[in-house]
Structure 1
Amino acid sequence: MSSNATRRMSIGDFLLRRLEEAGIQHLFGVPGDYNLTLLQQLYDTGTLKWIGTTGELTASYAADGYARLSGLGALLVTNGVGALSAINGVGGSYSEHVPVICISGSIPLRSIDRGLGMHHTMADGTFDHFLDAYAPVTVAQTRLTPRNAATEIDRLILTAWREKLPVYMELPSDIAYLDIEVPAGPLVLAEPPSDPERLHSCIAAIAKRLSAATSPAILVDADADRFGVAPELMELAERIQAPLAVVNAAKAVIDETFPQYIGIYGGKASEPQVRETIESSDCLLSIGYRPIEVTTGDFSASLPADTIHVRGHSVDVGNDNYQAVTLKEVLRAVIDAVSPVVSRARRRVAAAVAGTEVDGGSAKLKQAAYWQAIQNYLQPGDVLYVDNGTSFVLLGLKLPQNCTFIGSINWGSIGYSVGALLGALTAAPHRRHLLFLGDGSFQVTAQELSTILRHDHKPVIFLINNGGYTIERGYLGRTETYNDVANWSYADLPKVFRPDTTARSFVVKTSGDLQKALSAPNDTMIFVESIMDSQDAPAMVIASSNKGAELDYGPRGPHRRDNAQLRPAASS
């Protein structure tokens, strides 16, 4: 078939076909009158499976979680009210470099052409508000028309996939059933080929630096996962015997049992040997490095001045910048270009593990014993979710092989993990999924638990009930009521959301209670509510919050008052 061959299809059917060809099998969202035409086409064709969520915010979180395991995610919302509800999650996908396609069923094109006022608008005669609103949080935006749909649908899907960033498209409700000429051939997700000279020169420059180095090292950020190059990085590290560290946003991107893996680098927040290895390297290769305070130990990171910075589509080596090259091509060629090294002298860095011995008795459960028990519970292949709060202790646990870590590290939106859990469960229901969060985060998006139950998923949910925002108490308001939340009967919620559920719920108050919950078979959902003191928090979390307060509030801030913050001693 000629590559220029065309066929006639309705705009909606073509959009659904292209999503399927891009590897998307599920569409998350909430029905609304402006998107029902596309939703009906989805049901008529059976192209994708619809996963209705309890709100657009959680749909955007679900699409994000789905994309992290599948490569691309998509959600469907309605004009204005739905689009703005989802924008926080899409903004998170932009911050975290996750390719998500947000489709908004919008007001009829007829109404736009005639300037007719419609509901779910600002009623001011202007129809570009939401395209404008999405411009800062997406890499591309469009309003589909019969004239541009064939090209714009392909452009946005390919852009999201290539750039690993979200896109936003509006589909007017009155054009989804209109037929247009579209390409007959399938959509091919492929990077444009690198410029041959730039690629050759870039590879030669990197290989020369690595070959001459006596202490090369590799530092990995989350883009190594987004662009799928973790295998190449481990192969390169093994070939040249280079230690390999990650920033916390890239937790589990590199197999933590891999011999060259040394741990998390975050400036002064690093283990001393990790910090020394990275900062003293005479040839540091960084992958997608994006420093912010939470990934740099409050800006204490200090990479060597001549660090090689490799990004998705460009590379900096010294004063030279190489454009029109792709990350995977560069790494594959560098592996071939450098000579193997038999061994280098270095010390293995032990992973920091929270807690000490597990108390199996009747002592009141504390954070240290809790997280040590969790460490022992982990299995190869687990998918682990972290939400803002004391569950950040997961960053200090050593993960078994083939684990995936999902969190909103850069964006930091509380409640993200519940929606992301739904999305990733949908993408990989065969894996064991472990959600770790606190009561404050859970209350933002708790209703999405009902969708998880509706689809018979079997995650293990670990919720800490300690009366509110403990991580914020480390910033400010140790005992203030603004950091409190209402006390729910959390373990009862699976039964509330689905009365016929077979989920197993546990209310845990002691280490013995926790061990009983951890022994339960995971043939259905397990919900573990652990009751802990509001003043009990891991030292690493408290220290991070205390430092964050210094950055946020400065020398005159209210955090300097006596007893205004949780302090590390409070967790003893």
Structure 2
Amino acid sequence: MSSSPSRRMKIGDFLLRRLEEAGVRHLFGVPGDFNLELLQQLQDTGTLKWIGTCSELNASYAADGYARLNGLGALLVTNGVGALSAINGVAGSYSEHVPVICICGSIPLRSIDRGLGMHHTMADGTWDRFLGAYAQVTAAQARLTPHNAVTEIDRLILTAWREKLPVYMELPSDIAYLDIEVPAAPLMLAEPPSDPERLRSCIAAIAGRLSAATSPAILVDLDADRFGVASEVMGLADKMQVPVAMINTAKAVIDETFPHYLGIYNGKASKPHVHEAIESSDCLLSIGYRPIEVTTGDVTASLPVDTIRARGHSVDVGDDNYQAVTLKEVLRGVIDAVPHVSNRTPRHVAAAAASTHADGSAKLTQAAYWQAIQGYIRPGDVLLVDNGTSYAVFGLNLPPKCTFVGSVNWGSIGYSVGALLGTLTAAPDRRHLLFVGDGSFQLTAQELSTILRHDHKPVIFLINNGGYTIERGYLGKTEHYNDIANWAYADLPKVFRPDTSARSFVVKTSRDLQNALSAPNDTMIFVESIMDPYDAPAAVISSSNSGADIDYGPRGPQHRGNVQLRPATYDG
């Protein structure tokens, strides 16, 4: 028996207390009979604020968006039907390295012990199917019991926070009100200290190679944000006058006005100065680099063979692998160990986007649209981007302290609408801009009602171009399978909340767009922009064209005439 001070608490109350101690202030989800007892405990204690969503899938997206700004997020679902509805979003959190805690109110232990049939199951006497399903998309899983609740609740929360990955816990509905002995001390979120010798050796190896290099460079992926080391990366780059590039998943992680910021590295699709700096570096330090075709110019990236590969808890330097080291400690040690450099040959840095005057009465084009958006973004904005033509945001130059939120690795369309609820909940004092296409929006549009219900004031930019434009770039330019129903999108705020003060705009010209952009943001702004279904950013369409060749191979249907969108008027 531990000698540490303890107290008695109900299992559900202890779980809610631990979430609060870990910094979680809100719980997203959908009520179901197997989780109502925990919801009642939440109501009785006031520990967290409940944010009910329209579906479990949207709750998982919201928890993901919340965690990206808050550091940790949580959702509550019910057995089977709720858990499987949420699993796509939780899988996205795994792919995107986002720490989310999925709590599932589940079958009573009484029923498991006695083999009693229950609803929301396969009706075959099995109980572990959903634990097995979540084992594929989470870092840790557990079914809570009165005997393991203390250990497993702490283990799962700490695992999510330390590994920056989701976890899954099942809370049987008949144990939440049982009293158990729990620690009196609060849960402490802390990284286990690095192995001293491994840390010293790792720092020395990296510092030695950087110091000896003539053209060092740094390449940043999203883990620089997840593990909170952006300031260390910039500190190292500033001390050694080293250029820094980002993978598009890490958009805005490095301040794009930072003097040593180069731009986005995307294989052969990179700008020449970025391509040259990264691929010809004689000492490239990569932070959490995980290449996929979307982040490597369709598998054209070619990093130097001796690239230093730093991850959250391990580092590769040449033939040596360093375990039991934390990324922040490594980078801080390297900053202290390397010399200050003041005479390195300057590199090119990201140039400001060119500005041209658009004909205000002309039909709105993608080129004019994104040029206007560039001028609208301001420091501190949270930008949420869905898959599709909204990926043009990658080509914009962002001011300081912006946050980019997207599902780039996982690529789940509709993610951004649910995630917007999460980011608004986590940081209500910041301005949130959602960039979404009509096809993506239709998957999760109902969550707009929850955003309105909580009086949030985002600016929603929706492109109405009649379907899945990015898919038209792959295949089926004119095929009906890429078409969708045409909604009156700008009317939806009024439909979802008849007493709303939201300002809606239907935009068809550049002048219309400028009028919308000048509206005061003291309430929700919803901008529906009507565009040609075959107009899309050249970079997005080129990527889709190349993606079709990767997906379908040399015998694929993409080689037929006029079956793909092709870049034409926009190369932003």
How much does 1:347 deviate?
3.0
Kindly indicate whether the alpha-carbon contact (under 8 Å) linking 2:108 and 2:175 is maintained by their aligned counterparts in 1.
Answer: yes
How much does 1:25 deviate?
0.2
1:47 aligns with 2:47: yes
Residue matched to 2:446 = 447
Kindly indicate whether the alpha-carbon contact (under 8 Å) linking 1:9 and 1:181 is maintained by their aligned counterparts in 2.
Answer: yes
How much does 1:28 deviate?
0.2
Kindly indicate whether the alpha-carbon contact (under 8 Å) linking 1:352 and 1:396 is maintained by their aligned counterparts in 2.
Answer: no
Residues 14-69 of structure 1: CA distance to partner in whole angstroms, max 9, x if unpaired? 00000000000000000000000000000100000000000000000000000000
Kindly indicate whether the alpha-carbon contact (under 8 Å) linking 1:358 and 1:373 is maintained by their aligned counterparts in 2.
Answer: no
Secondary structure at the residue paired with 2:88? helix
Secondary structure at the residue paired with 1:347? coil
Residue matched to 1:469 = 468
Number of aligned residue pairs: give it: 570
How much does 1:356 deviate?
5.1
1:423 aligns with 2:415: no
Kindly indicate whether the alpha-carbon contact (under 8 Å) linking 2:262 and 2:274 is maintained by their aligned counterparts in 1.
Answer: yes
Letter of the aligned partner of 2:207 in structure 1?
A: A
Residue matched to 1:120 = 120
How far apart are the structure 1 equivalents of 2:556 and 2:444? 31
How far apart are the structure 2 equivalents of 1:449 and 1:284? 43
How far apart are the structure 1 equivalents of 2:358 and 2:393? 20
Secondary structure at the residue paired with 1:568? coil
Residue matched to 1:225 = 225
Residue matched to 1:318 = 318
Letter of the aligned partner of 2:300 in structure 1?
A: S
Kindly indicate whether the alpha-carbon contact (under 8 Å) linking 2:140 and 2:159 is maintained by their aligned counterparts in 1.
Answer: yes
How far apart are the structure 2 equivalents of 1:224 and 1:479? 41
Residues 57-87 of structure 1: CA distance to partner in whole angstroms, max 9, x if unpaired? 0000000000000000000000000000000
How much does 1:346 deviate?
2.7
How much does 1:351 deviate?
4.1
Question: Percentage identity across aligned positions?
Answer: 81
For 1:522-537, list aligned pairs within 5 A. 522-537=521-536
Secondary structure at the residue paired with 1:137? coil
Secondary structure at the residue paired with 1:344? coil
How much does 1:538 deviate?
1.0
How far apart are the structure 1 equivalents of 2:514 and 2:430? 22
How far apart are the structure 2 equivalents of 1:298 and 1:351? 24
Residues 320-353 of structure 1: CA distance to partner in whole angstroms, max 9, x if unpaired? 0000000000001110111110131133233474
Letter of the aligned partner of 1:59 in structure 2?
A: A
Letter of the aligned partner of 2:534 in structure 1?
A: Q
How far apart are the structure 2 equivalents of 1:265 and 1:347? 15
For 1:230-241, list aligned pairs within 5 A. 230-241=230-241
Q: 1:3 to 1:389 in 2, by over 3 A?
A: farther
Secondary structure at the residue paired with 1:394? helix
Q: 1:295 to 1:351 in 2, by over 3 A?
A: farther
How far apart are the structure 1 equivalents of 2:534 and 2:274? 31
Residue matched to 1:296 = 296
Secondary structure at the residue paired with 1:132? helix
How far apart are the structure 2 equivalents of 1:261 and 1:42? 45
Q: TM-score, normalised by structure 2?
A: 0.99
Residue matched to 1:71 = 71
Kindly indicate whether the alpha-carbon contact (under 8 Å) linking 1:79 and 1:120 is maintained by their aligned counterparts in 2.
Answer: yes
Kindly indicate whether the alpha-carbon contact (under 8 Å) linking 2:256 and 2:350 is maintained by their aligned counterparts in 1.
Answer: no
Residue matched to 1:390 = 389
Letter of the aligned partner of 1:127 in structure 2?
A: W
Secondary structure at the residue paired with 1:569? coil
1:343 aligns with 2:343: yes
Secondary structure at the residue paired with 1:359? coil
How far apart are the structure 2 equivalents of 1:62 and 1:365? 32
For 1:145-544, list aligned pairs within 5 A. 145-351=145-351, 353=353, 357-359=356-358, 361-544=360-543
How much does 1:4 deviate?
1.2
Kindly indicate whether the alpha-carbon contact (under 8 Å) linking 1:351 and 1:396 is maintained by their aligned counterparts in 2.
Answer: no
Letter of the aligned partner of 2:320 in structure 1?
A: D
How far apart are the structure 2 equivalents of 1:415 and 1:187? 35
Residues 298-329 of structure 1: CA distance to partner in whole angstroms, max 9, x if unpaired? 11111111110000000000000000000000
How far apart are the structure 1 equivalents of 2:232 and 2:402? 18
Kindly indicate whether the alpha-carbon contact (under 8 Å) linking 2:101 and 2:166 is maintained by their aligned counterparts in 1.
Answer: yes
Letter of the aligned partner of 2:295 in structure 1?
A: T
How far apart are the structure 1 equivalents of 2:309 and 2:342? 26
Residues 262-284 of structure 1: CA distance to partner in whole angstroms, max 9, x if unpaired? 00001101001100000111110
Worse-matched range after superposition: 488-497 or 359-368: 359-368
Structure 1 unmatched ranges of 5 or more: none
Residue matched to 2:108 = 108
How much does 1:360 deviate?
5.1
